[in-house]
């Protein structure tokens, strides 16, 4: 993917962000999937770790502004998810749908685990309850 073709990913990140804030909570009856986290992991997987980290930082900062808490946890968890997607994407056979899906699950879990460890508002017990329910 050429350098000029990657810049629309920033606009796509903003689109995912607006969708996560407005549309997604209405569709899933209050359940809020982490669209930005999933998007950042996919960007890392297909565009490389540098773009994954960069968009993870931007996406995490956007989420932190609107959530009003744990800016460091949002930024770090999204950046780690993008980095992990990029590093695994360089070494794995990402053209296989099953492999790409599995990598997405691993990156999402790593991002959420990082958020749970770093966030001062969520204890390990709370995180396990949320994970078990989902």
Structure confidence by residue, pLDDT tens digits, 4-28: 577 788 888 888 888 777 776 667 6
pTM for the full predicted model: 0.76
Give the tens place of pLDDT for each residue, 25-57.
667 666 677 888 888 998 998 889 999 999 999
d(CA 64, CA 69): 6
With 0-12 CB in 10 A as exposed, 13-18 as middle and 19+ as buried, what is 69?
Answer: exposed
């Amino acid at each position: 993917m050429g350098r000029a073709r990657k810049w629309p990913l920033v606009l796509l990140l903003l689109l995912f962000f607006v969708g996560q804030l407005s549309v997604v909570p209405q569709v899933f009856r209050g359940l809020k999937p982490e669209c930005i986290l999933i998007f950042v992991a996919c960007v890392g997987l297909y565009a490389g770790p540098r773009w994954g980290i960069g968009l993870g930082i931007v996406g995490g900062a956007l989420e932190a502004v609107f959530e009003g808490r744990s800016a460091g946890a949002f930024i770090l968890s999204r950046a780690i998810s993008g980095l992990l997607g990029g590093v695994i994407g360089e070494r794995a056979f990402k053209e296989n749908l099953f492999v790409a899906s599995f990598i997405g699950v691993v990156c999402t879990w790593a991002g959420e685990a990082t958020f749970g460890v770093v966030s001062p508002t969520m204890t390990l017990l709370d995180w396990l309850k949320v994970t078990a329910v989902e």
